[in-house]
Structure 1
Amino acid sequence: MGQELVRRSGLKPTGLWSTQIMMERPDLVRDIHDAFFAAGSHVATTNTYAIHRDRLHPAGIEDRFDELHHLACEMACRSRDNHGTGLVVGSVGPLGWSYSHDGAPPEDQSAELYGEVCRIQSDYVDVYLIETIASIEQARASLRGALGNGKPVWLALTVDDTDGTRLRSGESLAAALDEIAANPPQAILLNCSVPEAITMGLESIGNAGVPFGAYANGFTGISPDFQKKGSAVTKLTSRIDLTPSAYADHVDQWIDTGATIVGGCCEVGPDHIKELSRRFG
């Protein structure tokens, strides 16, 4: 969603990313949901990834927190209803900053903030999708906030682009799975890492005893500069080799390992999903 909004709007990305563009061009959010459904997607993910108080406050728009969540959820639901079928999953992005493991509030405070997002989305979504979690502490905090709100929870962890068996914090996937085993989500995913790293990590999460899957990004890698709060996606570079067919080849490997939830993250657009739908239904 975020990179499609950047591409279609022609607007300069800011640290508010998809939220900023939604405020200026809300029609594009609905158009993109429609495009993904038309391509064969079974899921609409709400454009709420970056709607956290710690992102809105520096821009002076924290008072719009509830309003923006409602707007994003309503557009995903309308697109699903127009399509006639599909799930709406509520995106719950990471506190602190994407890919960073040390910028979020302490665990108890983080758990409450994640829970606040889930409670706002509860009237709209079928599933909570906690995305791009880079550390064990934030995995615990996000699950504490999301579980118990009456909806299934999918937890998506982001792994190191050079070693897919480790979170971006350096902690092992195996340790993360052990940590959440007593209070597990309904599905565990890997997301927003290069597909090659995700292939490395899937064997670990396949042993977690719950449905699993993955959705990779199309960046060459995550630069250290982007992990600084307030950075814009202009600091990241897109791959030129990840065609729809090439991406589907990676997904084919994931399905062979037992993955049952597959899709795409940043830089994976409707054409990629159309190819996944053609190959895998």
Structure 2
Amino acid sequence: MTTCTTKGFQQRLKDGDDIIVAEGYLFEFERRGLLKAGAFVPEVVLENPNLVRELHEEFVRAGSDVVLAFTYYGHREKLRVIGREQDLEALNINALKIAREVANNTNTLMAGNISNSTIYERNNQDSIEKTEAMFKEQIEWAVQEKADFIVAETFSEYGEALLALQCIQKYGNGLPSVVTMSPKTSSLTFDGVPFSAACKKLEDAGASVVGLNCGRGPATMMPLLREIRQACKGPIAAVPVPYRTTDKEPNFQALTDPDTGKQDFPLDLPAHTCSRSQIRQWAEEVKQLGVQYVGLCCGNASHYLREVAEVYGRKPAASKYAPDMTQHFVFGNRANNKAYYTESLKMYITTK
């Protein structure tokens, strides 16, 4: 197998290239019945590795420049909760090897991945040390398996995000970093820092890319992204969830069923999914804003990512099968079938 010959991550950033990244593996595998909602641990890496490889390839066909190793929530604490801590190293190494293989075969970048620890407590030294130890082992495995950069994501506290960055710098053998925070209903981190200020602090501390991922949908992430773009000089990241969050319910975990008022996270979120047109419009907005590192998080699917890639000027392999309604037997209004079209259209779009 040949080594990846694509332009390096840092060089792309320096040259002003846009980088498209597919996330959302947890939710996609849960939809497919291969991952348990609630625990959200990537056991599929051990149990169905070929399907992980296929989803990586699917996202690359849709336009992703990055194969993100599926180690999100594959850390020691999450595996301890489900009684599989003994499988920690195997899960991480397998995920990284699969991602490296796909990246090599598709001439894309491969990223290691660490995430919120679920045990971090500010001002608790024991918690901080345990969190650092968890970050350390995942980062060192990513270095071992030749990741091109490390993604540290979904932090709601600035302190934990900074710790993740410091761990990448300490244990990452010089690898560049993308550090993204996850906004909930407030415009402040859990430790009281405006997200724009938190991102600026992370940029100043040496992160290659800073920004937001998960939590908010396109509509409610945009105001924070505008603030971050003003605060930060370097590349920023935008990786929202593709759900119709609102000012009243700005985070996808806050979305409720309009009929019952019950929380829809995580099982009934499909009632709130964005349209492809909304994703395309959002991609146009962030491109104009100057977002250089762009993608979609929980709820992502390849048809959404293709919209983002095409807005960013790409023509990925999946664009061969982009919709063309001129070919539809009814809605295409083909000249050689106009009479049939006219009658059929009435039947489709009217109730009379």
TM-score (norm 1): 0.85
Specify the code of the residue in structure 2 equivalent to 1:82.
N
Kept in 1, the 8 Å contact 2:237–2:292? The answer is: yes
DSSP-derived class of the 2:52 partner: helix
Residue number in structure 2 paired with 1:120: 141
Q: Unpaired segments of 5 or more residues in structure 2?
A: 1-24, 246-251, 256-264, 315-352
Kept in 2, the 8 Å contact 1:191–1:214? The answer is: yes
Residue number in structure 2 paired with 1:24: 47
Kept in 1, the 8 Å contact 2:41–2:79? The answer is: no
The 10-residue stretch of structure 1 (13-22 or 192-201) with the greater mean CA deviation from structure 2: 13-22
Kept in 1, the 8 Å contact 2:236–2:293? The answer is: yes
Specify the code of the residue in structure 2 equivalent to 1:180.
L
Kept in 1, the 8 Å contact 2:35–2:41? The answer is: no
Specify the code of the residue in structure 2 equivalent to 1:30.
R
Query: Following superposition of structure 1 onto structure 2, how do residues 63-102 of structure 1 map, counting pairs within 5 Å?
Result: 63-83=86-106, 85-96=107-118
Specify the code of the residue in structure 1 equivalent to 2:253.
I
Kept in 2, the 8 Å contact 1:218–1:238? The answer is: no
Alpha-carbon spacing, 1:82–1:142, altered in 2? closer, same or farther (3 Å): same
Alpha-carbon spacing, 1:142–1:14, altered in 2? closer, same or farther (3 Å): same
Kept in 2, the 8 Å contact 1:5–1:18? The answer is: no
* Aligned mates of 1:262, 1:120 — CA distance in 2: 25
Question: Identity of counterpart residues, as a percentage?
Answer: 22
Kept in 1, the 8 Å contact 2:45–2:94? The answer is: no
* Aligned mates of 2:82, 2:221 — CA distance in 1: 34
Pairing partner for 2:189 from 167, 173, 180: 167
Residue number in structure 2 paired with 1:201: 224
* Aligned mates of 2:31, 2:166 — CA distance in 1: 35
1:234 shift after superposition: 3.9
Q: Is 1:252–2:252 an aligned residue pair?
A: no
Residue number in structure 1 paired with 2:130: 109
Number of residue equivalences: 266
Kept in 2, the 8 Å contact 1:108–1:141? The answer is: no
Alpha-carbon spacing, 1:263–1:21, altered in 2? closer, same or farther (3 Å): same
Query: Following superposition of structure 1 onto structure 2, how do residues 32-43 of structure 1 map, counting pairs within 5 Å?
Result: 32-43=55-66
Alpha-carbon spacing, 1:265–1:151, altered in 2? closer, same or farther (3 Å): same
Q: Deviations over 1:10-46 (max 9, x none)?
A: 2462444251233332221111001001111111111
Residue number in structure 2 paired with 1:222: 253
* Aligned mates of 2:207, 2:297 — CA distance in 1: 20
Alpha-carbon spacing, 1:181–1:262, altered in 2? closer, same or farther (3 Å): closer
Residue number in structure 2 paired with 1:135: 157
Q: Deviations over 1:27-80 (max 9, x none)?
A: 211110010011111111110001111111122211211111011011111212
Pairing partner for 2:274 from 222, 230, 242: 242
Q: Unpaired segments of 5 or more residues in structure 1?
A: 225-232
CA RMSD, 1 decimal: 2.5
Kept in 2, the 8 Å contact 1:101–1:135? The answer is: no
DSSP-derived class of the 2:269 partner: coil
DSSP-derived class of the 2:278 partner: helix
Residue number in structure 1 paired with 2:83: 60
TM-score (norm 2): 0.69
Q: Name the larger-Rg structure.
A: 2
Kept in 1, the 8 Å contact 2:46–2:94? The answer is: no
1:248 shift after superposition: 1.9
Residue number in structure 2 paired with 1:230: none
Specify the code of the residue in structure 2 equivalent to 1:222.
Q
Specify the code of the residue in structure 1 equivalent to 2:188.
R
Kept in 2, the 8 Å contact 1:46–1:72? The answer is: yes
Q: Is 1:158–2:182 an aligned residue pair?
A: yes
* Aligned mates of 2:143, 2:296 — CA distance in 1: 24
Alpha-carbon spacing, 1:77–1:211, altered in 2? closer, same or farther (3 Å): same
Specify the code of the residue in structure 1 equivalent to 2:75.
H
Alpha-carbon spacing, 1:94–1:77, altered in 2? closer, same or farther (3 Å): same
Residue number in structure 2 paired with 1:227: none
